[in-house]
Amino acid sequence: DAGITQSPRYKITETGRQVTLMCHQTWSHSYMFWYRQDLGHGLRLIYYSAAADITDKGEVPDGYVVSRSKTENFPLTLESATRSQTSVYFCASSQLLGYTDTQYFGPGTRLTVL
Amino acid sequence: KQEVTQIPAALSVPEGENLVLNCSFTDSAIYNLQWFRQDPGKGLTSLLLIQSSQREQTSGRLNASLDKSSGRSTLYIAASQPGDSATYLCAVKDYGQNFVFGPGTRLSVLP
């Protein structure tokens, strides 16, 4: 199906392990984003990408790494997971960032770090 | 730093009522404002986007207004239905690439 997908949907890992969350979109949107959603903080932007090979930090980038070798994929890696990274992670995409361009969100990945 | 708040945090109403959700932001230099809906365990779905130069947008039973000078937006839902039950989030985009979300209002519409 067309759209934006995330995998896995649920993940349990241990402190110190490396974890990669995948995001794939079929619209060829230029922009892609990673957010985390936590009670008491709402959604916060981790990283975003304006195009393949162009990424930039958001509000809470520490402890995360992103790459974008292809327009359709935007993986998020936690190099050494910590308990504070337990959260729900959402990927989103947008064609452009003009006045009328909305973001389309994936279903989310619920990550638990033990 | 831009901050977005939403009032109320939760709302429960009987079916058929008209209701208003509020969103406030601290910095009026915004590019646009969006209202999203989030169902439990799901991602966000965009409902309405208001450009900084606009005052309101309408889609079906939904109407969103924007008053940049006072840092406020309201989402009006007419004739609420049980299917409207969800969390509603507003988000503002500034002239950089920063999107700031509010914490959301959890709406329950009782049959």
pLDDT for position B110: 96
pLDDT for position A101: 75
Per-residue confidence band for B99, with pLDDT thresholds at 50, 70 and 90: confident
Please tell me the distance in Å from B15's CA to the nearest CA on chain A: 27
Q: How far apart are CA B75 and CA B97, in angstroms?
A: 24
Q: What is the DSSP string of B52-63?
A: TT-SEEEETTEE
pLDDT at A2 over 70: no
Query: Which among A77, A33, A28 has a CA at the least distance from the CA of A55?
Result: A33
Residues 22-81 of B with CB under 8 A from A: 31-32, 34, 36, 41-46, 49, 51-53
pLDDT at B22 over 80: yes
A69 touches chain B (CB under 8 A): no
Q: Report which DSSP code applies to B1.
A: -
Q: How far is CA A32 from the centre of its chain?
A: 8
Paired tokens of B41: 């365990």
Comparing alpha-carbon positions, the chain A residue that sits nearest to B91 is A43
Residues belonging to chain A? 114
pLDDT for position A99: 60
Q: How far apart are CA B63 and CA A74, in angstroms?
A: 34
* CB A82, CB A104: distance < 8 Å: no
Please tell me the distance in Å from A91's CA to the nearest CA on chain B: 9
* CB B99, CB B93: distance < 8 Å: yes
Q: How far apart are CA A63 and CA A79, in angstroms?
A: 7
Stretch B85-105: mean pLDDT? 89
Please tell me the distance in Å from B34's CA to the nearest CA on chain A: 8
Per-residue pLDDT reduced to its tens digit, A26-71: 988 999 999 999 987 789 999 999 999 999 999 899 999 999 999 9
Burial level of B73, CB count in 10 A (0-12/13-18/19+)?
buried
Comparing alpha-carbon positions, the chain B residue that sits nearest to A4 is B43
How do strand B44-51 and strand B32-38 relate by DSSP bridges? antiparallel
- B4, B7, B37, B44: best mutation site toward chain A, by most A Cβ within 10 Å? B44
Q: How far apart are CA B40 and CA B67, in angstroms?
A: 30
How do strand B72-77 and strand B19-25 relate by DSSP bridges? antiparallel
Paired tokens of A94: 């947008």
Per-residue confidence band for B84, with pLDDT thresholds at 50, 70 and 90: very high
